[in-house]
Amino acid sequence: MSNALTSCVTIPGKSKINSCFQDVQNDTLKWVQQFDIAPKFKPLSWYSKARFGFQAAREYPDATYAQVSLAGDLLSWLFTVDDSCDRGSADAATALEMRRQLEIFIAILNDEYIEDDNSLSMALKDILHRFSDISSPFLYRRYCMHMTDYLNECFFEIDMQIDGLMPSIDRYYKERPYTGFYIMFPLVAIFEKLNLPDEVYDHSIIREIELILNLLGCLSNDLHSIVREAKLEKPGFNLIFIAQKELDLGRDEAVQYVINEHKAHLLRFEQLRAQLPYWGRAVNEQVDRYIQGLYTIVRGYDDWAVIDTGRYENI
């Protein structure tokens, strides 16, 4: 199945891009140099090609310049850590060092005093300070929780790669949502200064909508990245490869399986929107803005990956 077909799998609607996208892109390049992330972890050309400023501008098209810049710096940090974890899967010694660094990141998120001058640690502290300045206590804790969940999932992926294990489909659906999208969700409420009661965020339907949108992003990412990941010695955390093995499918059959999963989750999302409780006009208007913001993140990510960067082109 051609990559041209799989790259078209996304959620309906047109994405926008914030008018400050180019300035934010320039800012992200300055930020990774400020904290010596480039060239210490990846060359500056890697960040330039990745266009994390464009990604932030896609995911938060109506945010302020400062907000989009913060999101761009966060994305630069997350993708650097993700790449470091991939390289940390090369051997046991490298994996041990990466696990130690992940533990330090988690301690920082728990507001523990850590004497660590690692560039990524210093950059994380900068990001957290900037978020704490603009977030309510509840949303800041929610953001830190999602960051911690992501880092814990990195441990799982390192172990998976080192041990050469292929997770089950059930394990995929348990672990895959923690790989990044959740982190970006609280930013919608933070940037828009939503004033929703905490119990609304914790409502079962809102939580399931977050999960479904997260999985829609993950499933489209699996489809977009299939050609690149198929060339790797150890395939990534991708449902196509997992379904191939567990269900004894050919490659095209496994791709269609994931496309069908994407369609089923999109249908479930629409069903959940129709089941939202009525909390009152003011609250429900903000709930609609929140859900639309989450949707925009997933749609924007797809266009960043396929249009802005050609990240998963078949080359």
- Do residues 87 and 94 make contact, with C-beta atoms less than 8 angstroms apart? yes
Q: What is the DSSP-derived secondary structure letter of residue 177?
A: G
Give pLDDT tens digits along the chain (315 positions).
444 445 568 999 988 999 999 999 999 999 999 999 999 999 999 999 999 999 999 999 999 999 999 999 999 999 999 988 876 666 778 888 899 999 999 999 999 987 788 999 999 999 999 999 999 999 999 999 999 999 999 999 888 888 878 899 999 999 999 998 999 999 999 999 999 999 999 999 999 999 999 999 999 999 988 887 777 666 678 999 999 999 999 999 999 999 999 999 999 999 999 999 999 999 999 999 999 999 999 999 999 988 888 766 543
Each residue's pLDDT tens digit, 24-63: 999 999 999 999 999 999 999 999 999 999 999 999 999 9
Average pLDDT score over the chain? 92
Between CA 290 and CA 306 the distance in angstroms is 25
Residue 113 burial (10 A CB sphere; 0-12, 13-18, 19+): exposed
Between CA 306 and CA 229 the distance in angstroms is 15
- pTM of this structure: 0.94
Between CA 258 and CA 73 the distance in angstroms is 31
CB atoms within 10 A of CB 84: 18
